[in-house]
A and B are shown apart, each in its own frame.
Chain A
């Protein structure tokens, strides 16, 4: 619990930007923004609450647990994925994950068989993974152990 409080204290000084979100990912923290006025949660983080238009938001840790809502096995990827060694013969999975909190986010899905995508089930329970590639950390999810 103390650790959680530390994370929250530290993160409260960060703005609600992609830069800050990625900084937190690099520290292996999946954080969302929470509206202090209406309680709505946002991932990606937002500086303005679309539900009540409040600007009174705070960082809040996410459970990191969720389910697969949609996915694809990509054979023809963008350049940065090709550079990581993915190709027609070595496809990868991108997906949309619905967290326990009800938030959805795009992420890489690891630990499933990208060559046999028909075997992957929507609704698969997942947990967060912080994928380190070079000096970047990407948001990913893997099947729950």
Chain B
């Protein structure tokens, strides 16, 4: 079934990457967020650029239709950044929308069809009340056979967590370590929705209670706090609030050019040398519920295209829509053996100073998860880290190879990219 995987027919370079602030912004629409990301991307380009050179936009967006009652989003974004009448394409693969938009952009440059390709992602989620956000996200599942069973997105990942726990002996407390680590990273990211560590969050709650004259919570540790059903309520057992990524408004933008033109725009381009994508049926139609086969296949394709293996990857941004998703991702990508992902997280291997730093941006968990923008925003972090521009969260040492892993729904879409820095 697998086609013969070849290197890209023409090299592709990332020469600019930017994102909006992630959070809840009642005063901003999708187009405001996208303009913010676009201008941040233009500002990141080291040398001169004439934006009129940009030829096409591939825009990841999951559901502006339901979130904002606005369909046909791509031409609106293209116009908002002053680039009409150039073609603009919306890509929808649920939460993998902008990871897949990036793949379309890579193919557009690699094919020789276009030279300057704008890739973006945007989602404006906070207009709706939480119950309607839950319903909107549920449209990424199978509306005929999964949703009638009562499943929500936290519910799907919670079910995967029970399968994983049963198979490998993980306990829900192990997942809390993933949340604590990603909030530590998010606290160092000024664009993150939650720029605060969980211990600081807990202290803030205590101070706020005292200030309001309420009895001060008696948490004596972060463990205490995370086990308190009032502070960290169960959403879908075994997942609690702090196991879930938030509801977020945000956008991201990237500029791709042919590798042989990269130095016109920067002396420090990042080359995208591998791209892989796969799809899967509904969760119940899979042999193994404790892993995501499409992620393994997408990674296999991206590694083969780049001519590398999992162990060559220095850092990765993975799709931690839920804490369990990060654990499973680190196994699907081949970083750790099956059943060891949670132990490696607990032991600190995925921390910034670990052997395989994962989600230095704070991940979807702390940075925020504007679903259609998350894949492109992952590339923004890799851009910063590989160019030593990540500030206080900068991973120490050289980063010659990095990876992004973006998942739609329960893994019905997975897309993986490999990034290379050449000295």
Evaluate contact between B159 and A71: CB separation under 8 angstroms: yes
B283 on interface, CB distance cutoff 8 Å: yes
B236 on interface, CB distance cutoff 8 Å: yes
Contact of B163 among A75, A76, A122, A138 (CB under 8 A): A122
Evaluate contact between A81 and B150: CB separation under 8 angstroms: yes
A122 to B234, CA, bound (A): 20
Q: A86 — nearest CB in chain B belongs to which residue?
A: B150
Evaluate contact between B163 and A70: CB separation under 8 angstroms: yes
Which of the 9-residue segments A4-12, A31-39, A51-59, A103-111 touches chain B? A103-111
Evaluate contact between A105 and B163: CB separation under 8 angstroms: no
Interface string of A80-108 (1 = CB under 8 A from B): 01100010100110111000000011111
Q: A76 — nearest CB in chain B belongs to which residue?
A: B235
Evaluate contact between A78 and B145: CB separation under 8 angstroms: no
Interface residues in B296-332 by Cβ distance below 8 A to A read: none
Q: A73 — nearest CB in chain B belongs to which residue?
A: B237
Evaluate contact between B234 and A96: CB separation under 8 angstroms: no
Evaluate contact between A107 and B144: CB separation under 8 angstroms: no
B11 on interface, CB distance cutoff 8 Å: no
A15 on interface, CB distance cutoff 8 Å: no
Interface residues in A59-80 by Cβ distance below 8 A to B read: 69-79
Q: A81 — nearest CB in chain B belongs to which residue?
A: B150
In the assembled complex, the CB of A27 is this many whole angstroms from the nearest CB of chain B, namely: 17
In the assembled complex, the CB of A19 is this many whole angstroms from the nearest CB of chain B, namely: 9
Q: Which residues of A contact B166 (CB under 8 A)?
A: 122-123
A106 and B149 in contact, given A70-B289, A122-B162 (Cβ under 8 angstroms)? yes
B220 on interface, CB distance cutoff 8 Å: no
A120 to B140, CA, bound (A): 28
In the assembled complex, the CB of B368 is this many whole angstroms from the nearest CB of chain A, namely: 19
A94 and B237 in contact, given A71-B159, A78-B135 (Cβ under 8 angstroms)? no
A143 on interface, CB distance cutoff 8 Å: no
Evaluate contact between B131 and A75: CB separation under 8 angstroms: no
A69 to B144, CA, bound (A): 20
Evaluate contact between B282 and A106: CB separation under 8 angstroms: yes
A95 to B144, CA, bound (A): 15
Evaluate contact between A105 and B284: CB separation under 8 angstroms: yes
Contact of A76 among B147, B154, B162, B284 (CB under 8 A): B154
Contact-residue size bin, chain A (C-beta under 8 Å from the other chain): 20 to 34
Contact-residue size bin, chain B (C-beta under 8 Å from the other chain): 35 or more
B175 on interface, CB distance cutoff 8 Å: no
Question: What's the dominant secondary structure at chain B's contact region?
Answer: helix
A72 and B283 in contact, given A79-B132, A108-B150, A117-B238 (Cβ under 8 angstroms)? no
A49 on interface, CB distance cutoff 8 Å: no
A76 and B152 in contact, given A88-B233, A96-B284, A106-B282 (Cβ under 8 angstroms)? yes
In the assembled complex, the CB of B109 is this many whole angstroms from the nearest CB of chain A, namely: 34
In the assembled complex, the CB of A5 is this many whole angstroms from the nearest CB of chain B, namely: 27
Query: Which of A77, A92, A138 counts the most B-chain CB atoms under 10 A from its CB?
Result: A77
A72 to B240, CA, bound (A): 12
Evaluate contact between B163 and A106: CB separation under 8 angstroms: no
Interface residues in A99-139 by Cβ distance below 8 A to B read: 104-108, 117-118, 122-123, 138-139
Evaluate contact between B144 and A44: CB separation under 8 angstroms: yes
In the assembled complex, the CB of A95 is this many whole angstroms from the nearest CB of chain B, namely: 7
A106 and B284 in contact, given A69-B289, A78-B147, A94-B151 (Cβ under 8 angstroms)? yes
Evaluate contact between B155 and A74: CB separation under 8 angstroms: yes
A18 on interface, CB distance cutoff 8 Å: yes
Interface residues in B165-201 by Cβ distance below 8 A to A read: 166
Interface residues in B94-132 by Cβ distance below 8 A to A read: 130-132
Chain B residues within 8 Å of A, Cβ to Cβ? 130-132, 134-135, 138, 142, 144-152, 154-156, 158-163, 166, 233-239, 282-286, 289
Other A-B pairs beyond A72-B151, A76-B154, A104-B285, 16, CB < 8 Å:
A70-B160, A72-B154, A72-B158, A73-B234, A74-B152, A74-B154, A74-B237, A78-B134, A78-B135, A78-B138, A78-B152, A81-B150, A94-B151, A95-B149, A104-B286, A122-B162
Chain A residues within 8 Å of B, Cβ to Cβ? 18, 44, 69-79, 81-82, 86, 88, 91-92, 94-96, 104-108, 117-118, 122-123, 138-139
23 residue pairs of the A-B complex, CB under 8 angstroms, read: A70-B160, A71-B159, A72-B155, A72-B161, A72-B236, A72-B237, A72-B239, A74-B155, A76-B134, A76-B152, A76-B154, A76-B235, A76-B236, A78-B134, A79-B132, A92-B150, A95-B159, A96-B284, A106-B148, A106-B151, A118-B237, A138-B149, A139-B149
